[in-house]
Structure 1
Amino acid sequence: MVVYRPVATPGPWPTLVFNHGSTGEGNQPAWFKFTSASPEVGRYFAERGWQVVFPQRRGRGQSDGLYDEGFEADRSRYACRPERSLPGVDRAIADLDATMAYLRQRPDVDTTRPLIGGVSRGGILSVAYAGSQPQMFAGVINFVGGWVGDLCPAADEINPVAFRRGAAFRKPTLWLYGDKDPYYSLQHSRQNFAAFEAAGGTGQFIALPAPAGGNGHFIHTERTL
């Protein structure tokens, strides 16, 4: 777990739990062991009095266990079928259950108003998890969230299903998406948001221009955001 915390104020601090994404197509096992964090997000919130924690789910970074969030049977890549992909959401939610149980015991965490957020697969996971624990968080920040890219033929049978799980969360959710995202087009992402709202979810969807370099999947790295 990577932690960013304020230096000017003593804890306990209000805490943002920020969840990492996937590893592209899931066909590079060496990438599973890279520790994932978003320094721009960590610094932004720490400068404003928040602690930010970046948990590493099972099999990611230095966490033990098997990384198994919806692979094909031969583990050659992420699956693009609901029956294999969606159980990966359940596994990630179980990992977050363990994370939150641990954080509630930490003396540096103010448990009265936590936020949850994430990028890409971590963004959709944060929305879904908030729906499973609707009283736990003060809000959700979803950067370019989705479980499988929209080039997956079954994306419309996977991403809206996971997002609808978050509809039980009645507090604010913020959906931030970038133009020219190679994984999640704005059209697909707006459809996911519409499915979330139709299921009873509430939130704000903001479409942003692509950052320098032209890849809207990395809007969370923009300090000017």
Structure 2
Amino acid sequence: MKFEKFFIPSDELGVRLEIVAARPEGDGPFPTVVFNHGSTGRGQNRALYSRTMAPAVIADYFIARGWMALFPQRRGRGKSGGAYGEGLAQDGSGYSCDAEIALAGFERAVDDVDAVVRHLRGRSDVNQNRMIIGGVSRGGILSIAYAGMRPGMFCGCINFNGGWLGRGCLSHELVNPLLFERGAPSGISTLWLHGSYDQYYRIAHCRGNFDRFLSAGGQGKFVAAPMGHALMFKPALWKEHVDRYLLALG
């Protein structure tokens, strides 16, 4: 498997986004997953901002099943241009617990996903009827919410350990369910994969987010696996669930 790296325009004038792609053999069009990265822990280590996130474990899984995987790097992350502005406190102490700042950071992330979707719509090697969105941690909640905010864009959504604010912020009890609720209008079945021992999000909180999503009209399945926040790197715990999910999508 080979990764291809390229850049696309963002919504911000003159700023480009880095995308890493893993393609199966052949010309396509391929069913395609857009997989969104998470945060940088507490947001205090600026060296992590420039690290491109394209987990081979996800690429390998989808390539083996004939899917193309795209890993966009949002503004200020990886080799993407612009400043990293997803809810950082102004004093440089890391991510802010202020709900207003956190939500503004989320909206900035949505703008970047919009740019990725525009790129997808112009690709002849993408099966436009078989596109799903997914992600881990902040990328997981971003994917669920985005699918509901842009209904009809994706036919499926996979959330690994999703949440925007961790339990170190009291406001996570407000922000996370609010954002997950935005995903309810998607009209598609979703798959939520959470670690029972996640150090950032208690499993009861995650189930509560899922219940809030269902109560708002969302559809999906919740899986609690015996793992922490690194669940994504243990495919033995999730691949059968994802296999069944993809099969059900058709």
TM tier relative to shorter chain: over 0.9
Structure 2 residue corresponding to 1:202, chosen from 219, 228, 233:
219
Q: How much has 1:72 moved relative to structure 2?
A: 1.1
The correspondence of residues 171-210 of structure 1 with structure 2, limited to 5 A, is 171-210=188-227
- CA deviations on 1:18-73 (whole Å, 9 max, x unpaired) are 00000000011110000001111111111100000000000100000111011112
Q: How much has 1:76 moved relative to structure 2?
A: 2.4
Aligned to 2:119: 102
Match of 2:38, SS?
coil
Return the alpha-carbon distance in structure 2 between the equivalents of residues 192 and 150 of structure 1.
Answer: 13
Return the alpha-carbon distance in structure 1 between the equivalents of residues 112 and 218 of structure 2.
Answer: 23
Match of 1:157, SS?
helix
Return the alpha-carbon distance in structure 1 between the equivalents of residues 169 and 125 of structure 2.
Answer: 41
In the alignment, structure 1 residue 92 sits paired with structure 2 residue 109: yes
Structure 2 residue corresponding to 1:56, chosen from 57, 69, 73:
73
Return the alpha-carbon distance in structure 1 between the equivalents of residues 196 and 33 of structure 2.
Answer: 25
In the alignment, structure 1 residue 5 sits paired with structure 2 residue 23: yes
The correspondence of residues 36-185 of structure 1 with structure 2, limited to 5 A, is 36-185=53-202
Higher relative contact order (CA 8 A, sep 6+): 1
**Which is richer in strand?**
2
Q: Which runs of 4+ in 1 moved over 4 A?
A: none
Aligned to 2:12: none
Of stretches 103-112 and 187-196 in structure 1, the one that deviates more from structure 2 is 103-112
Q: Which amino acid aligns with 2:233?
A: T
Return the alpha-carbon distance in structure 1 between the equivalents of residues 88 and 155 of structure 2.
Answer: 32
Match of 1:217, SS?
coil
- CA deviations on 1:62-94 (whole Å, 9 max, x unpaired) are 000111011112232101121110111111000
Q: TM (normalized to structure 2)?
A: 0.85
Return the alpha-carbon distance in structure 2 between the equivalents of residues 157 and 207 of structure 1.
Answer: 22
- CA deviations on 1:119-176 (whole Å, 9 max, x unpaired) are 0000000001001111011110000000011221111111011111101111110000
Match of 1:58, SS?
coil
Q: Which amino acid aligns with 2:235?
A: R
Aligned to 1:213: none
Return the alpha-carbon distance in structure 2 between the equivalents of residues 87 and 198 of structure 1.
Answer: 25
| Structure 2: segments with no counterpart, 5+ residues | 1-18, 239-250
Aligned to 2:235: 223
Q: How much has 1:223 moved relative to structure 2?
A: 2.9
- Count of aligned pairs: 219
Conserved 8 A contact 1:14-1:109: yes
Return the alpha-carbon distance in structure 2 between the equivalents of residues 97 and 64 of structure 1.
Answer: 16
Return the alpha-carbon distance in structure 1 between the equivalents of residues 92 and 101 of structure 2.
Answer: 11
Structure 2 residue corresponding to 1:22, chosen from 25, 29, 39:
39
Q: TM (normalized to structure 1)?
A: 0.95
Structure 1 residue corresponding to 2:49, chosen from 27, 32, 37:
32
